[in-house]
Each structure stands twice: as C-alpha cells, then as structure tokens.
Amino acid sequence: MPSAVSSSGGALAVLRFGRFAAMGVVAALILIAGVWASWGTAQHAMLTKGRERGTVEVTWCGGRTCAGPYAPLSRGSQPRAKVVLENSVAVEEGRTYAVVLKPGGEQAVRSGPAGIVYAWVPLGGALLLASVVVAGGLLRTRAAWVLALSGTALLTTAFLVV
C-alpha cells in the first residue's frame, strides 16, 4: 500500500512538471509571436534581391502613414507619384529614406541597417517579456538574463540607429 508521503511527492513532481511545461509553452509562444510580428516587415527589408528599391521623399504625414514620391534605384523599378510608409518615430516629413517596395502595391518599407533593425523591434519586446516568464516561471535566471540583455541590446540599437 503506498504511503501518503510517496503519493504527495509524486503529485508534487507532476505539478512541478506541469508548471515547467506550461511556462515553457508560454515563453515559446511569446518568442514565436515576436518573430511573427517582426518578419512581416523584416523580410522585405532584409531580402531585397529582386525587389524594387529606391528612395522616398516624405511630403505628407497623417495619423498612421506617411507618403511621398518614389525615385527608383534598382533596375526595372518605375518612379511613382506616391508610396506609403508607416508613420513612426523613424519617419519625418521632409526627409528622404531608402526603401523597398512590397510586391503588388504602393506600400514601402525602410531598407538598410536602420530599416532592418527597426523591423525587429517587436522581437526585442518579446525577448524582454519572455525573460520575465523564464525567470519567474521556469526559474532559469541565466537564460532569463540572456533573453533580457538580447532584447535590451536590440531595442537600444534600434533607438540609436533609427
């Protein structure tokens, strides 16, 4: 007949495993969401081969977007009277930016080092958030520090470059 001590120890081990599994899944989902949110823009900024590249002189900024005329730099790209950039702290009216056009439209994404780093900002936030889950839920302080410092480095670099 099993004793009360051994059955409570088994239950405790199952609960501990459940907590680690749940927190591991939460941390993984946070990181996957950060990559997913970043990749939508980062793929255009990083993988420019075969895409239309040029510059945009921002002449108008609204609540969520900025726009201006597009001057092509890559072969086969055509000038456009207006392309649209996301309005952010990284875009100012009156300045010219190197951009890559998204296929099939007038949407543009900043290119070059500033565009690439800025595209990965959601991943930086996800790294910081996941570090809290890893430290508190998984009790892995070294891994949490690595995640936190990586996120901080990415966000700081984005702040300095943009």
139 lies in the same domain as 155: yes
Q: How many domains is the chain partitioned into structurally?
A: 2
Domain that holds residue 151: 26-46+115-161
Q: Is 62 inside a domain boundary? A: yes
119 lies in the same domain as 157: yes
Q: How far is CA 147 from CA 5, 32, 94, 143, in A?
A: 38, 14, 38, 6
Which pLDDT tens digits describe the chain residue by residue (162 residues)?
555 556 678 888 999 899 999 999 999 999 999 999 999 989 999 998 889 999 999 999 888 899 999 999 998 889 999 999 987 767 888 999 999 998 877 899 999 898 999 999 999 999 999 999 999 999 999 999 999 999 999 999 999 987
Q: Is 121 inside a domain boundary? A: yes
CB 30 within 8 A of CB 126: yes
Q: Is 110 inside a domain boundary? A: no
Task: Give the per-residue pLDDT at 105.
Answer: 74
* Non-local CB neighbours of 20 within 8 Å, separated by 6+ positions: 137, 138
Task: Give the per-residue pLDDT at 79.
Answer: 92
63 lies in the same domain as 42: no
Q: Is 2 inside a domain boundary? A: no
